[in-house]
Amino acid sequence: MALRLLARREYSRKELQDKLLQAGFAVAQVETLLEHLQASGYQNDQRYAEMLTRTRLRQGHGPLRLRQDLHRAGVEIEAGAGEEQALDWQAQARATYRKRFGDSVPEDARDYARRARFLAGRGFLPEQIRRVLADAGKNPDDFND
């Protein structure tokens, strides 16, 4: 069953453990199986963290959401930290904003708050949100950070 699950997509050790326990396997069996899968290279939390990072980037999510998802999956934050540090989160926030709102500028304080809530819900930091909203409406070629 574990190999069938892993053949479909990557799973963190905790996710796989939860699924196997839910299927009725004994704790000792699950631990032995997970050790064997890790030793064989079938299950790897680092690979899972990289896959989740790529997926969340494609979906337009920010660093807070990524860390939350990694934590929920039982992956140590350091596992995804290497790739996460190399990302330009400000550019990611800007792209997410443009995809949703285009080059339009917030019309009033209420619209500004609505757009800020959208970006916050996607997991971006307050400073990233402020910078994106301050830069709203500017030419995308002006950004070289």
Q: What is the pLDDT of residue 79?
A: 43
- Provide the percentage of residues in the chain whose pLDDT is more than 90: 80
Tell me: pLDDT of 13 over 90: yes
Do residues 133 and 96 both lie within one domain?
A: yes
Residue 108 domain boundaries? 89-139
- Whether 144 is in a domain gets the answer no
Specify the CATH number for the domain of residue 56.
Answer: 1.10.10
Mean pLDDT score, 124-140? 87
Q: Give the total number of structural domains in the chain.
A: 3
Q: How many residues does the chain have?
A: 145
Do residues 52 and 35 both lie within one domain?
A: no
Mean pLDDT score, 33-47? 94
Tell me: pLDDT of 80 over 50: no
Specify the CATH number for the domain of residue 16.
Answer: 1.10.10.10
* Whether the Cβ atoms of residue 48 and residue 73 lie closer than 8 Å to each other: yes
Degrees, nearest 5: CA angle 80-48-73? 85
Q: What is the pLDDT of residue 44?
A: 94
Report d(CA 48, CA 53) in Å as an integer: 9
Q: What is the pLDDT of residue 12?
A: 95
pTM exceeding 0.85: no
- Provide the percentage of residues in the chain whose pLDDT is more than 70: 88
Report d(CA 10, CA 133) in Å as an integer: 36
Report d(CA 89, CA 84) in Å as an integer: 9
* Whether the Cβ atoms of residue 37 and residue 2 lie closer than 8 Å to each other: yes
